[in-house]
């Protein structure tokens, strides 16, 4: 079969790849998405479907990319309220950060409020509340795919072994590398590494997000319209163990109860866990990479913050591609 010609090949169909594809298609480019894994696939190597997908800004990293991404989601929630986006109250605690100035996003949310000392958990140095959005990937990812198909974007299942070869096969003038963990091989980037996460989905009416950041990374994230919550978590760099750890489940429950004042003290790990989730976040030493090398634009390295960064990264990719298009036009 002859490969379809296109302007741009986006490699990877996780949240970053799909976001890049959507914004590029909206700019008028002819886009083809090529990926080994697509939404709906059952594989732990494909992190996007298993994410808590909470749009909670991160004090470190690129503020501008986070802001642009949040702006996209906020507009989307107003224009298309039924795509898996929901508003939710969140309380965050940190024991490895102190001082209000480090929380740069305190001015982004109208109801943002720092907690007084008497409201902090014993080990926390700082805490705050605000209302943000949470995504249910079960609805959001299929919606993204549908939007792309409606724009004429072709989806091709293929395991890519070389980006330049793929570009030539597709007669494309640029490839967007949004392969996550695959970038270690395809971009020969030794800074890329996996971070193992383990969570569990349980039935619960608990209706708010609570997160503890720092020495004991712990969270409760309701998965909207599902009748349950995700309890986590762990962050284990370079682990490739796909098995569910029973001791980790017990430790997560211990930490969650400490965080929520015993809200899950009646939870039976043998009876009440609907699904155990083990996934591998596509992280990168040195942080996110969004840059051009020759005819490739790289977009990966967000780790567990893919949803938070996706549309900010995609916006930056579009800026790079626009510059490349000007170069091509100048040579004609």
Residue list, annotated binding site for FAD: 160, 179
DSSP string, 246-293: HHHHHHHHHHHHHHTTSTTTT--TTTSEEEEEEEEEEEETT--EEEEE
First to last CA, the chain: 30
Count CA atoms closer than 13 A to 199's CA, side-chain side: 28
Task: Please enumerate, by residue number, every residue annotated as part of a binding site for D-dopa.
Answer: 219, 281, 304
Q: How many CB atoms lie within 10 A of CB 75?
A: 10
Helix (H) or strand (E) holding 203: strand 192-203
Q: How many CB atoms lie within 10 A of CB 139?
A: 17
Task: Please enumerate, by residue number, every residue annotated as part of a binding site.
Answer: 160, 179, 219, 281, 304
Smallest CA-to-CA distance from 209 within 63, 57, 311, 16 is with: 57
Long-range contacts of 320-323 (CB under 8 A, 24+ apart): 320/290, 320/291, 320/292, 321/8, 321/24, 321/27, 321/29, 321/174, 321/176, 321/297, 322/27
The CA distance from 233 to 238, in Å, is 16
Please classify residue 81 by burial: count the beta carbons closer than 10 Å to its beta carbon, then call 0-12 exposed, 13-18 middle and 19+ buried. exposed
């Amino acid at each position: 079969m002859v490969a379809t010609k296109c302007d741009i090949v986006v490699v990877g169909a996780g949240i970053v790849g799909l976001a890049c594809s959507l914004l590029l298609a909206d700019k008028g480019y002819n886009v083809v998405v090529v990926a080994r894994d697509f939404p709906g696939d059952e594989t732990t190597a494909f992190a996007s479907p298993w994410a808590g997908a909470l749009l909670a800004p991160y004090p470190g990293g690129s503020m501008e990319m986070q802001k642009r991404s949040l702006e996209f989601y906020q507009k989307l929630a107003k224009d298309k309220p039924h795509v898996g986006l929901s508003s939710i109250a969140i309380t965050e605690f940190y024991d490895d950060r102190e001082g209000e100035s480090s929380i740069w996003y305190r001015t982004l949310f109208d109801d943002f409020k720092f907690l007084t000392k008497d409201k902090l958990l014993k080990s926390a140095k700082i805490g705050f509340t605000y209302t943000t959005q949470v995504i249910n990937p079960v609805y959001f990812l299929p919606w993204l795919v549908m939007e792309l198909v409606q724009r004429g974007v072709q989806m091709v299942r293929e395991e890519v072994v070389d980006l330049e070869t793929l570009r030539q096969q597709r007669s494309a003038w640029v490839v967007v590398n949004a392969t996550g963990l695959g970038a270690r091989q395809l971009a020969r980037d030794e800074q890329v590494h996996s971070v193992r996460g383990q969570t569990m989905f349980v039935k619960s009416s608990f209706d708010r997000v609570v997160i503890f950041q720092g020495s004991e990374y712990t969270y409760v994230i309701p998965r909207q319209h599902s009748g349950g919550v995700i309890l986590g978590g762990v962050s284990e760099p370079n682990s490739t163990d796909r098995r569910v750890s029973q001791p980790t489940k017990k430790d997560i429950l211990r930490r969650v109860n400490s965080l929520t004042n015993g809200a899950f003290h009646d939870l039976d790990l043998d009876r009440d866990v609907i699904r155990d989730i083990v996934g591998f976040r596509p992280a990168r030493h040195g942080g996110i990479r969004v840059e051009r090398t020759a005819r490739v634009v790289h977009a990966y390295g967000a780790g567990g913050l893919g949803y938070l960064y996706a549309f900010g990264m995609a916006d930056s990719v579009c800026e790079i591609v626009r510059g490349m298009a000007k170069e091509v036009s100048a040579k004609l």
